[in-house]
Amino acid sequence: MNMDLKSMLTRETVCLHLKGTTKEEIINELIDMLVAAHKVTDRESALAAVMERENKMSTGMKHGIAIPHGKSQTLSDLVACMGVSDALVEFDALDKQPCRIFIMTLSPVEKTGPHLQFLAEVSLLFKSEEKRGQILHAQTPEDILRILSE
């Protein structure tokens, strides 16, 4: 399976110990990671895009996974990052359970294909309870990258 997630994540865009305890804090932390990795240059527009999407409908999925995302005029390509929280974070998830695994994507406004493909691959990946468990127990960003490529 062509795992776009793996090719898009790097050590700089994987965080194992997110500090945030609320949806807003987590989203801000993920955006900061993308900014620090030079994947996002306009922090304000990126944050606004993700929050706007979030306010329409929560991106909390099932099994403790949330995939906050948005579209921004300031991007030319899809960017992604991933974070794992030690704490359970309320994210208004579909199954009403708190989330611990967060995968954020930001994509250009005019390109929808890569974004939809990415979301499809993420959801496939996390149907696996085994993979979710491995991710929650990962010790390093390298562990995560390896798990995603297996």
CATH number, residue 29: 3.40.930.10
Cα three-residue angle 137-15-45, rounded to 5 degrees: 145
pLDDT in tens, 39-51: 999 999 999 999 9
Structure confidence at residue 18 (pLDDT): 97
For residue 147, what is the enclosing H or E element? helix 141-149
**What is the pLDDT, as a whole number, of residue 15?**
96
Per-residue pLDDT at 4? 66
Which residue carries 């994210």 as its tokens? 91
Domain range holding 10?
4-149
Residue 76 three-state SS = coil
CB-CB neighbours of 19 under 10 Å: 12
What is the model's pLDDT at position 2? 42
Which among 19, 10, 65, 6 is positioned nearest to 37, based on CA atoms? 10
Q: Using CA atoms, how far apart are residues 87 and 112, in angstroms rounded to an integer?
A: 33
- Neighbouring-strand partners of residue 81: 104
pLDDT over 50 at 1, yes or no? no
Token reading at 50: 């993700």
The pTM assigned to this predicted structure is 0.91
How many domains are there within the chain?
1
What gap in Å lies between CA 18 and CA 22, rounded to an integer? 11
